[in-house]
């Protein structure tokens, strides 16, 4: 990566510029980049010296060998470090100087993903076939999401962490549409800002040709056809004496309940960042002040844990995949689930399995959530044993299912595992509550302060 530590290292915005043979346009494009914006030129196999020219003009250069618009865009996103990441074509059809106008709705909190709605200026700026295809895709996008968008414009900007949490998987022409669909499914607020659209410099590789437009429409249609997953969260209402009882070797039952509440809220917050069609809290007990907006509450079924887990999938109807997690992994990062659940990554997957380090499992999902299949897989699996995860994984194999294995995570069950997870996620609600519960108190006043710290900050926000 060239010029990564140059004069733009303190930029507020990283501007990703996917580039394939754009030497003619680069001087104008990079000359229009505003102050406070770091240009990241992602060279996608240029043969005209684009990468070397971009570096000589002060841009950070990332080289992405895998061909594809989405591959170049995502490589730039992964290389970005600024709080906000913008994307823009590198062919001089869009003016980077307009970026501050797109940033404004983000800075004021009115939106979390802002797209530039293209306004053609000049003959040949937007070929008729490309404009018609864009209008049809935008219509389908409005019908799918309800977002008032009229253009899938390539100029856009959003917070970096939110974009990473979406786990975007397309690496071809579907990437821009997947970003918008995933953002809407993750609850991000969308907005449009008009931007000028000029005739491009040089030859178009995609929408300037009928073949390229057809490929883009096929890629985007496949993304539109893939339903967003259903996320299930299996939990107990955090009441003293009913949750995290093994933690009471080190803390009181009330403190253990506060820690459990914090872990539950952390998990809900994480799942809210993942694109989903529904989020269901499969609950043992009654919801409390900790329940966050947007969650459907479904009571757990009667019976052992194996029956309750299987029954959770019966609440899912339709063709969407379903994935279930518990409340014991507050260190879970959104990308850990979002990436394998992205439409492009789940095409040949039948199930997802997340092993726990204690021999159990922290996540389980089905691409086609059939209640009978869930029962065959889960009923009579010995639960809460060191062999639980291996037994379920063996049943998945016996069914002939193609399983995507998720990374192992540590469940919070005992004081040592709570210490471990708090160290992994030091800024989480869980870590704050656990540190407060573990803090020695020497006076009645200090005890009251510690109890407030352990219970505070985990309600609905």
Tens of pLDDT, residues 173-220 = 889 999 999 999 999 999 999 999 998 776 655 555 556 666 666 777
Is the predicted pLDDT of residue 140 greater than 90, yes or no? Answer: no
Q: What is the pLDDT of residues 388-436, one digit of tens each?
A: 999 999 999 999 999 999 999 999 999 999 999 999 999 999 999 999 9
Q: Is residue 2 part of a domain?
A: no
Same domain for 73 and 135, yes or no, is yes
The percent helix, strand, coil of the chain (3-state, each to 5) is: 40, 20, 40
Beta strand pairing status for 351-355 and 403-405? parallel
> Which tokens sit at 378?
């889960």
Q: Residues 292, 293, 295, CA angle at the centre, nearest 5°?
A: 85
| Dihedral sign, Cα of residue 307, residue 312, residue 314, residue 315 | positive
Same domain for 282 and 412, yes or no, is yes
Domain boundary among 172, 191, 225: 225
CATH number of domain containing 302: 3.90.550.10
Query: How far is the C-alpha of 377 from the C-alpha of 445, rounded, in Å?
Result: 52
Total tally of structural domains belonging to the chain = 2
Are 253 and 303 in contact by the 8 Å Cβ rule? The answer is no
Same domain for 449 and 405, yes or no, is yes
Instruction: Report which secondary-structure segment, H or E, holds 222.
Output: helix 210-225
Same domain for 53 and 199, yes or no, is yes
45-56 b/e with 16+ CB inside 10 Å = b?
A: ebeeebbebbbe
Same domain for 155 and 279, yes or no, is no
pTM to 2 decimal places: 0.87
Same domain for 161 and 287, yes or no, is no
Quick one: three-class SS letters along 328-385? Answer: CCCCCCHHHHHHHHCHHHCCCCCEEEEEECCCCEEEEEECCCCHHHHHHHHCCCCCCC
Residue 86, SS3?
A: strand
The residue-averaged pLDDT of 154-173 equals 96
Same domain for 450 and 350, yes or no, is yes
Domain boundary among 191, 225, 259: 225
Domain boundary among 190, 225, 260: 225
Q: Residues 298, 224, 81, CA angle at the centre, nearest 5°?
A: 85
Same domain for 220 and 248, yes or no, is no
Contacts of 44 (CB under 8 A, 6+ apart): 18, 19, 20, 64, 67, 68, 69, 71, 72
pLDDT for position 440: 76
Q: Is residue 5 part of a domain?
A: no
pLDDT for position 148: 86
Query: How far is the C-alpha of 272 from the C-alpha of 457, rounded, in Å?
Result: 18
Same domain for 90 and 35, yes or no, is yes
The DSSP 8-state label assigned to residue 324 in this structure reads: E
The DSSP 8-state label assigned to residue 45 in this structure reads: S
- 450 confidence band (pLDDT: 50, 70, 90): very low
Are 93 and 206 in contact by the 8 Å Cβ rule? The answer is no
Residue 201, SS3?
A: coil
Pick from 166, 159, 268, 148: which is nearest to 223 by CA? 166
Q: Is residue 335 part of a domain?
A: yes
| pLDDT, greater one: 76 or 440 | 76
Same domain for 116 and 45, yes or no, is yes
| Structural domain containing residue 33 | 13-225
Are 406 and 336 in contact by the 8 Å Cβ rule? The answer is yes
């Amino acid at each position: 990566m060239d010029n990564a530590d140059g004069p733009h290292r303190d930029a507020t915005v990283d501007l990703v510029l996917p580039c394939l043979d754009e030497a003619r346009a680069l001087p104008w494009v990079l000359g229009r980049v505003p102050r406070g914006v770091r240009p990241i030129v992602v060279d996608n196999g240029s043969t005209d010296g684009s990468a070397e020219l971009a570096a000589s003009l002060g841009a950070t250069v990332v080289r992405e060998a895998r061909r594809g618009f989405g591959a170049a865009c995502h490589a730039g996103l992964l290389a970005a470090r600024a709080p906000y990441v913008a994307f823009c074509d590198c062919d001089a059809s869009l003016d980077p100087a307009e970026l501050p106008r797109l940033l404004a709705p983000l800075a004021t909190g009115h939106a979390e993903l802002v797209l530039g709605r293209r306004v053609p200026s000049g003959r040949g700026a937007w070929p008729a076939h490309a404009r018609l295809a864009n209008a049809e895709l935008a219509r389908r996008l409005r019908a799918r999401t309800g977002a008032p968008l009229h253009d899938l414009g390539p100029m856009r900007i959003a917070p970096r962490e939110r974009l990473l949490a979406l786990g975007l998987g397309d690496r071809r022409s579907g990437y821009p549409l997947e970003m918008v669909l995933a953002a809407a499914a993750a609850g991000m607020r969308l907005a449009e800002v008009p931007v000028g659209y000029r005739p491009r410099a040089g030859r178009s590789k995609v929408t300037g040709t009928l073949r390229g437009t057809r490929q883009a429409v096929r890629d985007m249609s496949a993304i539109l056809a893939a339903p967003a997953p259903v996320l299930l969260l299996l939990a107990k209402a955090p009441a003293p004496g009913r949750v995290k009882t093994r933690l009471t070797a080190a803390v009181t039952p009330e403190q253990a309940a506060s820690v459990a509440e914090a872990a539950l809220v952390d998990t809900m917050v994480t799942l809210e960042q993942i694109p989903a069609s529904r989020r269901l809290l499969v609950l043992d007990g009654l919801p409390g002040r900790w329940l966050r907006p947007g969650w459907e509450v479904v009571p757990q079924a009667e019976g052992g844990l194996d029956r309750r887990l299987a029954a959770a999938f019966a609440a899912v109807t339709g063709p969407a995949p379903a994935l279930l997690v518990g409340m014991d992994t507050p260190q879970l990062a959104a990308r850990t689930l979002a990436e394998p659940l992205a439409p492009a990554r789940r095409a040949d997957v039948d199930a997802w399995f997340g092993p726990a380090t204690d021999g159990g499992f922290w996540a389980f999902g089905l691409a086609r959530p059939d209640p009978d299949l869930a029962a065959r897989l889960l009923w009579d699996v010995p639960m809460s044993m060191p062999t639980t995860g291996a037994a379920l994984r063996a049943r998945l194999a016996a069914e002939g299912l193609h399983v995507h294995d998720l990374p192992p995570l540590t469940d919070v069950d005992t004081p040592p595992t709570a210490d471990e997870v708090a160290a992994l996620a030091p800024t989480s609600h869980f870590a704050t509550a656990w540190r407060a519960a573990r803090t020695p108190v020497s006076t009645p006043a200090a005890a009251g302060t510690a109890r407030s710290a352990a219970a505070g900050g985990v309600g609905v926000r």
